[in-house]
């Protein structure tokens, strides 16, 4: 399967700071990446679809000004949580297609804790 | 609207026994794809198996097989010869009909394998 990396794996920050999470596809070009959020013992909730070279498509209820997504190259998408608050503490995980199977492969996730 | 339902929040199985995790789906799209992912406590999402709606045979990958009942709209995962390392959360997912490639996830089933 395809390999997707995510960095950092864990981050603790103070309330009000911004945190950037990187998602990289290591062995294929990803025109589309997806960002999910997961609370403990719950399912994954899609936040946005990241499109290379164009604006991200956000799901209903997700604040685009709070969760900034940049997909500047075919191998890198970034999610920036701006002015983070304790309620933003969650597990953030990205995924990408692995052509030609159309299977989605996931990064290892980033656990964000906002104090 | 498309929907994925996993009705078993938690399941137990004895080591070396087989276990079936249920998944039902709802879609009006004639072409769709169904996925199963495993999420151990580390958080990574591990792709297990894929079934296309037009596939004639049930998908199999090692100890994993997918019992695809199209008329019943079910796509149950069967794990044979359970191992302690199979203890994890399991998610059933369906590719969204919007052709963006995004996945719709079920609520998940926590599987515990007893020694």
pLDDT in tens, A3-56: 899 999 999 999 999 999 999 988 777 788 999 999 998 999 999 998 888 889
Is residue A73 very low, low, confident or very high in pLDDT (cuts 50, 70, 90)? confident
Tell me the C-alpha distance between A115 and B112, whole Å.
32
Using the beta-carbon criterion (under 8 Å), do A42 and B108 form an inter-chain contact? yes
Identity of the residue in A1, A43, A109 whose CB atom sits nearest the CB atom of B105? A43
Give the pLDDT of residue A99: 56
Please list every residue in chain B whose beta carbon sits closer than 8 Å to the beta carbon of residue A38.
43
Give the pLDDT of residue A102: 67
Closest CA to A26 of A90, A83, A69, A76: A76
Give the pLDDT of residue B1: 79
**pLDDT surpassing 90 at residue A103:** no
Is the model more confident about A106 or about A102?
A: A106
The stretch A54-75 carries a mean pLDDT of 91
Give the pLDDT of residue A27: 79
Give the pLDDT of residue A3: 86
Neighbours of B14 (CB within 10 A): 11
Give the pLDDT of residue A74: 84
Please list every residue in chain A whose beta carbon sits closer than 8 Å to the beta carbon of residue B45.
44, 93, 95, 106, 109
DSSP assignment string, B13-61? EETTS-EEE--EEE---SS-EEEEEEE-TT---EEEEEEETT-SS--EE
Token readout for A87 is 């309620």
Best mutation target among A43, A69, A100, A102 (most B Cβ atoms within 10 Å) is A43
Q: Can you give the pLDDT of all 115 residues of chain B as single tens digits?
A: 789 999 999 999 999 999 999 999 999 988 899 999 999 999 999 999 999 999 989 999 999 999 999 999 999 999 999 999 999 999 999 987 777 788 999 999 999 999 9
Burial label, A45 (beta-carbon count in 10 A; 0-12, 13-18, 19+):
middle
Give the pLDDT of residue B2: 87
Token readout for A81 is 């949580």
């Amino acid at each position: 399967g395809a390999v997707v990396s995510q960095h950092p794996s864990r981050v603790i920050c103070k309330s009000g700071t911004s945190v950037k999470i990187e998602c990289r596809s290591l062995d294929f070009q990803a025109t589309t990446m997806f960002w999910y959020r997961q609370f403990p013992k719950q399912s994954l909730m899609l936040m946005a679809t990241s499109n290379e070279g164009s604006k991200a498509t956000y799901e209903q209820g997700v604040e685009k000004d709070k969760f900034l997504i940049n997909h500047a190259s075919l191998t890198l998408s970034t999610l920036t949580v701006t002015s983070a608050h304790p309620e933003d503490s969650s597990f953030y995980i990205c995924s990408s297609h692995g052509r030609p199977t159309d299977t989605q492969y996931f990064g290892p996730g980033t656990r964000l804790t906002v104090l | 609207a498309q929907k994925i339902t996993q009705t078993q929040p938690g399941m137990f199985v004895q080591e070396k026994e087989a276990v079936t995790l249920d998944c039902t789906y709802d879609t009006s799209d004639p072409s769709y794809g169904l996925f199963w992912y495993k999420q151990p406590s580390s958080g990574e999402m591990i792709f297990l198996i894929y079934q296309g709606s037009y596939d004639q045979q049930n998908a199999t990958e090692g100890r994993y097989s997918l019992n695809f009942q199209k008329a019943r709209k079910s796509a149950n995962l069967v794990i044979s010869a359970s191992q302690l390392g199979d203890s994890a959360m399991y998610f059933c997912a369906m590719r969204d009909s919007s052709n963006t490639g995004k996945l719709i996830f079920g609520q998940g089933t926590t599987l515990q394998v007893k020694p």
